Structure 1
Amino acid sequence: MKKAFWDSLRAQLNEDPPVYDHAIKLLGEIKESLLSFLLPGHTRLRNQINEVLDLELIKQEAVNGALHIPKLADFIIGMMGTLCAPIRDDDIKIIRGITDVVELFREIFAVLDLMKLDMVNFAISSIRPHLMKQSVDYERKSFQEFFDKQHGSLEITTEWLQEAASELLSSDAETSVYGGAAAGAKDISALCPASVLNHAYVKLLKWDHANRLFPEPVLMDQSRFEEMQRELNQLTITAAVLLVIYNMTGAALSGLSGFLDRLKRVIKVLLTDMHMLSFHLSEAMVSMSEQICVEVNNCLSQHGFSLLSTEKETVLKGQIQAISSPDNSVHKLIDARIQTFLKTILASSNPKSVAIPGGLGPVRNELEEVTVKFLHLVNYNKLVFSPYYDTILTKVLKKNGSQLPGLSEEEQLSST
């Protein structure tokens, strides 16, 4: 349809004499787009656009054979260069070099669409803090009505936070969560409330949705947490398989980004239906191990290396298939590193500075995408429901008058 649209314009312009009906309509649309970018104080620019792109005058010039589209295009491109954001300067330069009239119109409309998107994004960024404040107030008010109906009891949330505190308390590796207490301390009041809450959020990514109710403050976001959980489960398997492959093949295949991308595509295809009840991971891992060995041998052959021996191939297949078990050591290692990474991100004042743990480098981009979504969702949830979490954690940690450390509401609004 797009091709037919522009072919129609070309056909009219190629007639003898040229027919400008289609072109004049496009000039009218361009004029309206340019006018839409102007602020009330842009009187001089508005007058220039109305004067040069006077459609009645243009129609008369077309009838008399005096219409010169390239001259109008120069004015339009110049006006676009004046009104566009700096990021569009390169696009404007490209348009200036186009001589074909139809292609010129096509590119002008493409850049105008980008300029409209820039304008919308700027408007949204300007009013975002106000929208966020209203959204937070509305959600908190709505939840308070629900809270009142529950007679001030959030049993599932309390159980969720209590579990998080107990898990941190029993973990020798989580010594950093103790607020000044020595490693191995057994006083629950010594736990840092912020660490408990962050650990609780990460627990939501391992939730048994089929058999457990979701905590009340995150109930509206349950589908989003489920989606992220599926993505992380797939990334865990992917990273574990890649770790096994590169440990087995050594330096022969390291640094071949094209091969890494191909392996990830193969793994992703075989894990596509991982979230379905009919999916059997163990069966998929058998197929994956067979395909991976074929890919590895093909790559080794292409780069002049010796193929995997029968013994190594058998070992590689066995290690890949074993990853299907959550108790597999490689599976557990990757899973633990992802969870630690997410908790570190939540606790960091500068998430971008947090380094990707070893073994997760091959899935860095995919992990960062999920992390950004997780961080936005958690930060907003904290912003809305922190008063309720604070009250529950105060009771859970048996620490009267404790408050969750963190940013002020205004700062949280800004960061969110």
Structure 2
Amino acid sequence: MKKAFWDSLQAQLSEDPPVYDHAIKLLGEIKESLLSFLLPGHTRLRNQINEVLDLELIKQEAENGALHIPKLADFIIGMMATLCAPIRDDEIKIIRDISDVVALFREIFAVLDLMKLDMVNFAISSIRPHLMKQSVDYERKSFQEFFDKQHGSLEITTEWLQEAASEVLSSDMDTSVLSGAVAGATDISALCPTAVLNHAYVKLLKWDHANRLFPEPVLMDQSRFEEMQRELNQLTITAAVLLVIYNMTGAAISGLSGFLDRLKRIIKVLLTGMHTVSFHLVEAMVSMSEQICVEVNNCLSQHGFSLLTPEKEAVLKGQIQAISGSDNSVRKLIDLRIQTFLKMHLASSNPKSVAIPGGLGPIGSELEEVTIKFLHLANYNKLVFSPYYDTILTKVLKKNGSQLPGIGEEEQQPSLG
């Protein structure tokens, strides 16, 4: 339809004498678009646009054969250059070099659409703080009504945060033993509330949804956390398989990005539906090990390397199939590094500076996508429900009179996006 429209315009302008019906309509649309970019105080620019793009005058010029479209186009492009964002300067320069009238009109409308998008994005960014505050206030008020009906009891949330505190404390105790720290340095009263809450958010990505109720403040986002959990489970197995493959083959196939992408596609296909009841991970890993060995040998052959010996092939298959077990050491290592990566993002004032741990590089782009979604959910949830978390953590951590900074008093971390 678009091609037919522009072909019709070309046909009209090619007639002798030219017919300007479509062109005048387009000029009218361009005029309206330019006027829509103006602020109330842009009186001089508004007068210029109305004067130069006076459609009645343009129609009279067309009827008398005096219409000069290139002159109008120069004015339009100049006005667009005045009103557009700096990021559109290159597109404006390209338009200036177009001599064909139809192509010129087409590109002008394309750039005008981009300018409209810029304007919308600017408007959204301007009102975002106000929308965020209203959203936070509304959600907190709605939750308070629910909280009152529960008689001020958030049992599931308390249990969730208590578990997180115990796990953080256990982790700190292990670290203190390794470092020779003095006994008592890891007393629960010394735990940072924010660290406990960050760990609690990561725990939601390992939640047993079939047998446990979800904490009340994150209940509305349960489906999103479930989706991220499924994505991370698949990425964990993918990274574990790739780590096994590259450890076995060494430098022979390292650096071949095309081969890495092919392996990832194969693994993703074979893990499709992994979260469903009918999916059998053990069988999938057997098929995967067979297919991976074929792909590795093909790659080695194409690049002039020796094929895997039957012994190495058997070892590779066995190591890949072993990843189906939740207690597999490689799988547990990858899982731990992913959790650490997510907690580092939550704790960092500049999440983009967080380096990807070893072994996660091959899934870096996919992991970053999940991390962005996770940070948006966690940081917004923290913003809304920090007063409730503060109250519960104060009791859980038994501060012994030492007033630690609450969740709501600490700086909210920016999102990765």
TM-score by length of 2: 0.92
* Structure 1 residues without counterparts, runs of 5 or longer: none
1:7-18 equivalence runs, <5 A: 7-18=7-18
Give CA-to-partner distance per residue, 1:124-146, whole Å, 9 cap, x none.
11121121111111111111111
Q: What's the offset of the Cα at 1:179?
A: 15
Kept after mapping to 1: 8 A contact 2:301/2:307: yes
Kept after mapping to 1: 8 A contact 2:205/2:228: yes
Give CA-to-partner distance per residue, 1:392-413, whole Å, 9 cap, x none.
1111122256666378679539
Instruction: Identify if the C-alpha distance between structure 1 residues 207 and 82 changes in structure 2 by more than 3 Å, giving closer, same or farther.
Output: same
Instruction: Identify if the C-alpha distance between structure 1 residues 177 and 261 changes in structure 2 by more than 3 Å, giving closer, same or farther.
Output: farther
Q: What's the offset of the Cα at 1:222?
A: 1.1
Kept after mapping to 1: 8 A contact 2:176/2:182: no
Kept after mapping to 2: 8 A contact 1:133/1:413: no
Q: What's the offset of the Cα at 1:160?
A: 0.7
Q: What's the offset of the Cα at 1:199?
A: 0.8
Kept after mapping to 2: 8 A contact 1:383/1:413: no
Alignment identity in percent? 90
Instruction: Identify if the C-alpha distance between structure 1 residues 281 and 413 changes in structure 2 by more than 3 Å, giving closer, same or farther.
Output: closer
Kept after mapping to 2: 8 A contact 1:52/1:72: yes
Secondary structure at 2:355 match in 1: coil
Secondary structure at 1:306 match in 2: coil
Q: What's the offset of the Cα at 1:176?
A: 8.2
Secondary structure at 1:266 match in 2: helix
Q: What's the offset of the Cα at 1:100?
A: 2.7
Kept after mapping to 2: 8 A contact 1:169/1:191: yes
Q: What's the offset of the Cα at 1:374?
A: 1.0
Kept after mapping to 1: 8 A contact 2:350/2:414: no
Q: What's the offset of the Cα at 1:357?
A: 0.5
Kept after mapping to 2: 8 A contact 1:383/1:409: no
Instruction: Identify if the C-alpha distance between structure 1 residues 241 and 15 changes in structure 2 by more than 3 Å, giving closer, same or farther.
Output: farther
Kept after mapping to 2: 8 A contact 1:394/1:401: no
Instruction: Identify if the C-alpha distance between structure 1 residues 78 and 177 changes in structure 2 by more than 3 Å, giving closer, same or farther.
Output: farther
Kept after mapping to 2: 8 A contact 1:281/1:324: yes
Kept after mapping to 1: 8 A contact 2:31/2:49: yes
Tell me which residue corresponds to 1:391.
Answer: 391
Give CA-to-partner distance per residue, 1:336-356, whole Å, 9 cap, x none.
000011112112222222211
Q: What's the offset of the Cα at 1:204?
A: 0.3
Give CA-to-partner distance per residue, 1:169-204, whole Å, 9 cap, x none.
333676489999847867433322221111110000
Kept after mapping to 2: 8 A contact 1:390/1:403: no
Q: What's the offset of the Cα at 1:54?
A: 1.3
Kept after mapping to 1: 8 A contact 2:139/2:384: yes
Kept after mapping to 1: 8 A contact 2:348/2:413: no
Kept after mapping to 1: 8 A contact 2:341/2:356: yes
* Structure 2 residues without counterparts, runs of 5 or longer: none
Instruction: Identify if the C-alpha distance between structure 1 residues 405 and 232 changes in structure 2 by more than 3 Å, giving closer, same or farther.
Output: farther
Distance (whole Å) between structure 2 residues aligned to residue 315 and residue 340 of structure 1? 30
Kept after mapping to 2: 8 A contact 1:238/1:264: yes
Q: What's the offset of the Cα at 1:279?
A: 2.2
Q: What's the offset of the Cα at 1:157?
A: 0.4
Secondary structure at 1:248 match in 2: helix
Q: What's the offset of the Cα at 1:329?
A: 1.1
Instruction: Identify if the C-alpha distance between structure 1 residues 317 and 101 changes in structure 2 by more than 3 Å, giving closer, same or farther.
Output: farther
The worse-fitting range, judged by mean Cα deviation, of 330-339 and 397-406 is: 397-406
Give the aligned length: 415
Kept after mapping to 2: 8 A contact 1:286/1:321: yes
The worse-fitting range, judged by mean Cα deviation, of 153-162 and 317-326 is: 317-326
Tell me which residue corresponds to 2:322.
Answer: 322
Instruction: Identify if the C-alpha distance between structure 1 residues 292 and 20 changes in structure 2 by more than 3 Å, giving closer, same or farther.
Output: farther
Kept after mapping to 2: 8 A contact 1:194/1:404: no
Q: What's the offset of the Cα at 1:330?
A: 0.9
Instruction: Identify if the C-alpha distance between structure 1 residues 134 and 171 changes in structure 2 by more than 3 Å, giving closer, same or farther.
Output: same
Kept after mapping to 2: 8 A contact 1:189/1:397: yes
Tell me which residue corresponds to 1:408.
Answer: 408
Distance (whole Å) between structure 2 residues aligned to residue 179 and residue 146 of structure 1? 46
Q: What's the offset of the Cα at 1:295?
A: 2.4
The worse-fitting range, judged by mean Cα deviation, of 55-64 and 238-247 is: 55-64
Kept after mapping to 1: 8 A contact 2:37/2:83: yes
Kept after mapping to 2: 8 A contact 1:260/1:362: yes
Q: What's the offset of the Cα at 1:215?
A: 0.5
Kept after mapping to 2: 8 A contact 1:132/1:413: no
Distance (whole Å) between structure 1 residues aligned to residue 352 and residue 156 of structure 2? 33
Instruction: Identify if the C-alpha distance between structure 1 residues 198 and 336 changes in structure 2 by more than 3 Å, giving closer, same or farther.
Output: same
Q: What's the offset of the Cα at 1:156?
A: 0.8
Q: What's the offset of the Cα at 1:389?
A: 0.5
Distance (whole Å) between structure 2 residues aligned to residue 346 and residue 410 of structure 1? 13
Kept after mapping to 1: 8 A contact 2:390/2:407: no
The worse-fitting range, judged by mean Cα deviation, of 125-134 and 260-269 is: 260-269
TM-score by length of 1: 0.92
Distance (whole Å) between structure 2 residues aligned to residue 74 and residue 174 of structure 1? 72
Kept after mapping to 2: 8 A contact 1:238/1:267: yes
Distance (whole Å) between structure 2 residues aligned to residue 147 and residue 197 of structure 1? 20
Kept after mapping to 1: 8 A contact 2:206/2:229: yes
Kept after mapping to 2: 8 A contact 1:129/1:414: no
Distance (whole Å) between structure 1 residues aligned to residue 381 and residue 312 of structure 2? 49
Instruction: Identify if the C-alpha distance between structure 1 residues 282 and 37 changes in structure 2 by more than 3 Å, giving closer, same or farther.
Output: same
Kept after mapping to 2: 8 A contact 1:246/1:254: yes
Give CA-to-partner distance per residue, 1:354-393, whole Å, 9 cap, x none.
2111001111111112112111211111111111011111
Q: What's the offset of the Cα at 1:217?
A: 0.4
Give CA-to-partner distance per residue, 1:231-260, whole Å, 9 cap, x none.
111211111111111111111111122222
Instruction: Identify if the C-alpha distance between structure 1 residues 173 and 414 changes in structure 2 by more than 3 Å, giving closer, same or farther.
Output: closer
Tell me which residue corresponds to 2:215.
Answer: 215
Secondary structure at 1:174 match in 2: helix
